[in-house]
Amino acid sequence: MTINIFEQLLNVLFNGLSTGSVLLIAALGLAIVFGLMGVINLAHGELMMLGAYTTYIVQNGFKTYAESLQDIYIFVALPIAFLVAALVGLLLERTVVRYLYGRPLETLLATWGVSLILIQFVRSINTAMVIGLLLFAALFLGGRFALKRAGSMRSWASPVLLLLSAAIALVAGLTLNAAEQDWITRLWFGPRNIDVTAPGWLQGGVAVGTTLQFPYARLFIIALTVLCLLGIYWFLNRSAWGLRIRAVTQNRSMSSCLGIPTQTVDALTFALGSGLAGIAGSAITLLGSVGPNLGGNYIVDAFMVVVVGGVGNIFGSVLAAFAIGTLSYLVGSGTIPLVLSGLDGGAAVQPVIDFFNFFAQSSMAKVMVFALIITFLQIRPGGLFPQKGRAVDA
């Protein structure tokens, strides 16, 4: 059945918008961390993965304990996914990233290592590992607190306490793993993908014309992306901490002289960007199964959105996400050859049709989109909206 021109145009616009929304919601947190802080966080995709697995756990919790409320689990999962990813991001900033500001190569390598650890953590986590981690946290944090209260804290105390706590927790974890109890040693997730069932009211779609249908899940993601954008805009431009973030971004030294706690601002900014990654991961579960390698499917595209839009420019990221999403759909879906084949000209346009048919698959479409992005950056290295002012000169 031939789709008329109007339906074809609507199909292109909606798919470009929905694909762009998925890219944008994945890139929002990255735009905060990379754009405002200049930190190349390769673990951003794994923070999305944590948000996705948090949604899976919340869904299972509703199935087990509140099945009658199953249709609203997504509204509980979203804030919890934000908090989990934000806390992990805060821990990452306090323990790793804080010591690497101004050294992009070291930051890139360190966060890449963290991403590998998080992937393996999700694949291997069981009850024994959780008990070991909780024991380590209790021993290390409790020991530091006790030494500070007693006034006996020395420079060598933290490393020694860290080693002792890790050794005791490791022995406890290995001992539990050696037990014959299935509930202790059984993997929670494993290496396989998991399926998150969308709420009943998000299944199906809106019929448009005779052949098109706009899925409710993608419409929900578009609405969620708009809400996240409005929330970020309000926070950065209307709240006191948003003002502090923008001040530190423009001039860190002057902000520190004026009494702004720059280290607290850094931690808050990183936690905010990480929390947005958790929301992105939660939203992506509505589109299909997810697994430990979820982050790798989005991290490169998310960086491309931020770079093409202009580093640190949220509005540029919005335009770049929708442009890249629309272009990816046009090339990968085979829409361009379909339109060209309906034109007059026959043999004259056949080479062009063959060219686009070659790229009419998701992997090859990504190659073409990346090539076009590289060409665009040769013309505008700073992206659509390059940075200006003192922050660039610093």
Q: What is the CATH number of the domain that holds 237?
A: 1.10.3470
Q: Which of 84, 165, 94, 93 is nearest to 121 (CA)?
A: 84
pLDDT of residue 347: 62
**352: its two tokens:** 């062009």
Question: What is the C-alpha to C-alpha distance for residues 394 and 38, in angstroms, rounded to an integer?
Answer: 12
Q: 């109007």: which residue's tokens?
A: 6
3-state secondary structure of 22: helix
Task: Tell whether 207 is covered by a domain.
Answer: yes
Specify whether the CB–CB gap between 139 and 168 falls below 8 A.
yes
- Please give the sequence-ordered ranges of beta strands (E in DSSP) within 159-302, or none if there are none: 205-208, 212-215
pLDDT of residue 394: 45
Question: What is the C-alpha to C-alpha distance for residues 363 and 383, in angstroms, rounded to an integer?
Answer: 24
Question: What is the C-alpha to C-alpha distance for residues 47 and 114, in angstroms, rounded to an integer?
Answer: 10
Task: Tell whether 154 is covered by a domain.
Answer: no
Task: Tell whether 59 is covered by a domain.
Answer: yes
Question: What is the C-alpha to C-alpha distance for residues 334 and 75, in angstroms, rounded to an integer?
Answer: 36
Task: Tell whether 153 is covered by a domain.
Answer: no
Q: Is the pTM of this model over 0.95?
A: no
Specify whether the CB–CB gap between 45 and 295 falls below 8 A.
yes
Specify whether the CB–CB gap between 279 and 76 falls below 8 A.
no
**208: its two tokens:** 């448009």
pLDDT of residue 390: 43
Which residues are paired to 290 by β-bridges? 194
pLDDT of residue 389: 46
Which residues contact residue 303 at a Cβ distance below 8 angstroms, ignoring those fewer than 6 apart? 27, 30, 34
Domain that holds residue 280: 5-125+187-387
Q: Which amino acid is at 145?
A: F
pLDDT of residue 346: 55
Give the number of other Cβ atoms within 10 Å of residue 344's Cβ. Answer: 6
3-state secondary structure of 207: strand
Give the number of other Cβ atoms within 10 Å of residue 347's Cβ. Answer: 6
User: Phi/psi class of residue 197: alpha, beta or left (left: φ > 0; alpha: ψ in -120 to 50)?
Assistant: beta
pLDDT of residue 12: 74
Give the number of other Cβ atoms within 10 Å of residue 312's Cβ. Answer: 22
Task: Tell whether 152 is covered by a domain.
Answer: no
**57: its two tokens:** 């756990």
Per-residue pLDDT of the chain (394 residues; tens, 9 = 90+): 445 666 777 777 787 788 788 888 888 888 888 766 778 888 998 999 999 999 999 999 998 888 788 888 999 999 999 999 999 999 999 888 888 887 888 888 999 999 999 999 898 888 888 888 888 888 888 888 888 887 777 777 778 888 888 899 888 888 888 877 777 888 888 888 888 888 888 888 888 767 778 888 888 988 999 999 899 889 988 888 888 888 887 778 888 888 888 888 888 989 998 999 999 899 888 888 888 888 888 888 888 888 888 876 778 888 888 888 888 777 777 777 766 666 655 566 677 777 777 777 767 777 888 888 888 888 888 777 776 544 444 4
Task: Tell whether 140 is covered by a domain.
Answer: no
pLDDT of residue 176: 83
Task: Tell whether 144 is covered by a domain.
Answer: no
Question: What is the C-alpha to C-alpha distance for residues 51 and 285, in angstroms, rounded to an integer?
Answer: 9
Task: Tell whether 138 is covered by a domain.
Answer: no
pLDDT of residue 183: 76
Domains identified in the chain, total number: 1
Which residues contact residue 330 at a Cβ distance below 8 angstroms, ignoring those fewer than 6 apart? 12, 16, 336
